[in-house]
Homo-oligomer: A and B are copies of this chain.
């Protein structure tokens, strides 16, 4: 398992023996494309496309307002949440689909601060931008005091102080996995609550959050969970913790007796209290259907395949003399591999022009995603062939590949 394939034939053999191979058929992948960007936007499944068409043309168009009851729109956030719960190793009722990661980080961190009775809200210096700015905004609003920790590669677990820490389970740039259980143990000793950002972890790692002592988390659903562009995020709050928490954003979808219009606000039980406004049903339905791609899938196989696909990238990158941003050790890496290149943006554009889609994160990270549900070993092999050729021929060295688009 730790020896990556050395030829395309090896890759073909691995694909033939892959227990996940048939899962790829659940995806509506475009022909002639090698898609290694599932860590940014997962592809559509057939089920999600069908569901969106049905929700629009039948549930909305014909059912109209009646679909809140008849089509089950009302409890869709909890039903999709229960599907998600099984992918992160927690109780079904402890997950609700709602809002975005940004909004959820805010709600969870603010509510967690109140529980701890502390003011300190911590974030690492190199966290994903929204994690950093949400934390800073919380402090600027007067809800806490910001403490910026060392970057994730240097941060010491003993740096945790009493208060709240926002932390990614997998770093967006390096793909390094945090030792979740160890962090939770340290946090327990200091009276710290950690709000985990699972955006780059859920759907690709075999997460066992409950076992690892995790109490609070959020994550996005449009990466390895394939929910569709901007599909709503989720909140996990362990029930014993949730009952002690009060969302600062008390919207009507987090309220018990929502349609008793005279009632004073009583939060719903558990994680559902972190729901707020009316959920975006089209995007939410897409997610709900997309999660069925994981039906019958063993997440330990997913994690194992991601490591092996990643090792293939690592070994080919080393052959090319490229500098890795990600850990070499497979067990320390999530579902993508980061490779440093000073002209990385142009290199990625040249690959896209050839039908190979990785992505780029400023200033110099090319990211190759290896979503095990639909990426084959031959895909990665061919993509690395493409990369080798683009670099050897300097195909990336064209002015048009340097023009930055709005979204990179």
Which stretch in A60-68, A159-167, A177-185, A295-303 binds the other chain? Answer: A60-68
Q: Chain B: which residue is nearest A358 at the CB level?
A: B65
Task: State whether B277 touches A233 (Cβ < 8 A).
Answer: yes
Given contacts A35-B64, A102-B252, A230-B278, contact A259 B362 (CB under 8 A): yes
Which stretch in A84-92, A207-215, A243-251, A328-336 binds the other chain? Answer: A243-251
| Most chain B CB inside 10 Å of its own CB: which residue of A68, A75, A133, A263 | A133
Stoichiometry, as copies per complex, reads 2
Task: State whether B286 touches A56 (Cβ < 8 A).
Answer: yes
Per-residue B-contact encoding for A180-207, CB less than 8 Å = 1, 0 else: 0000000000000000000000000000
CA distance A137 to B255 in the complex (A): 12
Which chain B residues border A141 with CB–CB below 8 Å? 110, 114, 143, 246, 248
Shortest Cβ gap from A3 to chain B (Å): 31
Which chain B residues border A136 with CB–CB below 8 Å? 250, 265
Task: State whether A251 touches B60 (Cβ < 8 A).
Answer: no
A279 at the interface (CB under 8 A from B): yes
A271 at the interface (CB under 8 A from B): no
CA distance A253 to B103 in the complex (A): 11
Per-residue B-contact encoding for A288-306, CB less than 8 Å = 1, 0 else: 0000000000000000000
Q: Chain B: which residue is nearest A104 at the CB level?
A: B277
Which chain B residues border A250 with CB–CB below 8 Å? 102, 130, 133-134, 136-137, 140
Task: State whether A363 touches B261 (Cβ < 8 A).
Answer: yes
Task: State whether B361 touches A129 (Cβ < 8 A).
Answer: no
